[in-house]
Structure 1
Amino acid sequence: MAEEKDAFYVVRKGDVVGIYKSFSDIQSLFASSVSSDSLSIYKGYSLPQETEEYLISQGLKGAPYSISAASVNEDLFGRLHACPYQDPYSAGRTLGVSSLSRKQGAIQLDTSKLAGSSSFPTNSQTHHALGGSQAELSTCFSCTLHFDGASKGNPGPAGAGAILRDESKVYRLREGVGIQTNNVAEYRSLILGLKHALKKGYKHIVVQGDSLLVCNQIQGLWKIKNPNMASLCTEAKELKNRFLSFKISHVLREYNSEADAQANLAVNLKAGQVQEDCQLL
């Protein structure tokens, strides 16, 4: 067996797959208070070079990686072991994953409740399915994001605003986006918030905004005809896929007033200028 220094861990959460080089990196990522998707963890050794090259070709460099499960085929990672894990917030209680099933001599992911169906085969004589309850993620790694854009003239001087919040603090974000339409400003505000959430280490995010266009295009419910919108949507989706869980929904404007206030302040900023305020709750 390869040495432990060559070990890697494959974590599937909903339709997102993360690849980590250290078990300690995933100790705090178990499940989510904002998503009911199952979590599965596998262990492998000596990540194949062709896999590294494939991940890089998807725009992913270094570890940890994250990639859409729809882009994962059965032999991408080679042989994987179903991996038990410890809930860091319980007193030594070992928690298993109930999303594995034995089928045709192999351990496979039960994808009946997951989007982007794919499976990771293992050797049935040396691996086993784990049963048990689902761990709960520390709220330190979960957040909510409200986003909004403003344009004085549509097109005209525009700004992006976002409110990023967890249980202990709230970030108020503003970015000047130059002369743009309101739709561009809306996308830029979502991108601003997602980038900041990833920078702060959040792995699970619930997003709300009053732009029906952005919310529906991100979910693939509406077609995108404008090339500029398509580029912005692609950028936002790439950021979305780096979270272990992501949910987005449309809200009425009156429930998005905090983000709207930041967007209107951002109109006065230079294009690309970002401001951030942080308040402890």
Structure 2
Amino acid sequence: MSNPITIYTDGSSRGNPGPGGYGAILMSGNHYKELSAGYRRTTNNRMELMGVIAALEALKKPGQHITIYSDSQYIVKAIQQGWLNKWMATNFAGGKKNKDLWVRFYNLAKGHHIKFVWVKGHADNMYNNKCDQLATTAADGRNLQVDEGFEMDPNHLTL
């Protein structure tokens, strides 16, 4: 059996919506990897989700035992309280937001054994603080990517 994987994630948005970014740290045994990216127009919740998705997409093997630490109540509660399963079962009826990212996460997650743990943001957890720094630096960067799921959604189009 391979080492368990610990992941810390955070998302940031300068305005909501506005420029945003995510940060993620993956650790297993003596392996350590940081990930981040910035987007020109998005929301904080989307960036929180993108941090988790990017971390899971970086994994090379299925069936991993993973603990994900996030300061996002939105993500942690969606998993721990079964909201995501209800959203999936009803095809996100009632206009639940971020369907594209939740479906992407769901498909990635089902291949692993994942436990979510909520951590207080901007507190004394050095990995959460580092993820925050990665996310905000990415949001403030140049050559920001397009969050197509947000920008192409007719509910978010502006003239």
TM-score of the aligned structures, taking structure 2 as reference length: 0.74
Alignment-mate amino acid for residue 251 of structure 1: V
Cα distance in 1, alignment partners of residues 79 and 100 from structure 2: 12
Preserved CA contact (<8 Å) 2:20 2:39: yes
Confirm whether residue 257 of structure 1 aligns to residue 125 of structure 2.
no
Higher relative contact order at CA 8 Å, sep ≥6: structure 1 or structure 2?
Answer: 2
Residue aligning to 1:217: 78
Cα distance in 2, alignment partners of residues 237 and 219 from structure 1: 13
Confirm whether residue 271 of structure 1 aligns to residue 133 of structure 2.
no
Distance 1:186 1:147, change over 3 A: same
Alignment-mate amino acid for residue 41 of structure 2: I
Cα distance in 2, alignment partners of residues 196 and 226 from structure 1: 30
Confirm whether residue 232 of structure 1 aligns to residue 101 of structure 2.
yes
Preserved CA contact (<8 Å) 1:144 1:165: yes
Cα distance in 1, alignment partners of residues 2 and 53 from structure 2: 24
Alignment-mate amino acid for residue 2 of structure 2: S
Preserved CA contact (<8 Å) 1:218 1:237: no
Residue aligning to 1:188: 50
Kindly report which structure 2 residues correspond to 1:142-221, keeping only aligned pairs within 5 A, or say none: 142-197=4-59, 199=60, 203-221=64-82
Alignment-mate amino acid for residue 130 of structure 2: E
Preserved CA contact (<8 Å) 1:217 1:233: no
SS in 1 for 2:111: coil
Count of matched residue pairs:
133
Report the CA distance between 1:196 and its aligned residue. 0.8
Residue aligning to 1:71: none
Larger radius of gyration: 1
Identity %: 31
Report the CA distance between 1:260 and its aligned residue. 0.8
Cα distance in 1, alignment partners of residues 25 and 95 from structure 2: 27
Computed over aligned residues only, the root mean square deviation of the Cα atoms, in angstroms, reads 2.3
Kindly report which structure 2 residues correspond to 1:108-123, keeping only aligned pairs within 5 A, or say none: none
Preserved CA contact (<8 Å) 2:62 2:111: no
Report the CA distance between 1:251 and its aligned residue. 0.9
Preserved CA contact (<8 Å) 2:23 2:35: yes
Preserved CA contact (<8 Å) 1:148 1:161: yes
Preserved CA contact (<8 Å) 1:218 1:233: no
Cα distance in 2, alignment partners of residues 155 and 180 from structure 1: 5
SS in 2 for 1:242: coil
Alignment-mate amino acid for residue 145 of structure 2: A
Cα distance in 2, alignment partners of residues 156 and 233 from structure 1: 20
TM-score of the aligned structures, taking structure 1 as reference length: 0.43
Report the CA distance between 1:239 and its aligned residue. 0.6
Kindly report which structure 2 residues correspond to 1:1-16, keeping only aligned pairs within 5 A, or say none: none
Report the CA distance between 1:154 and its aligned residue. 1.2
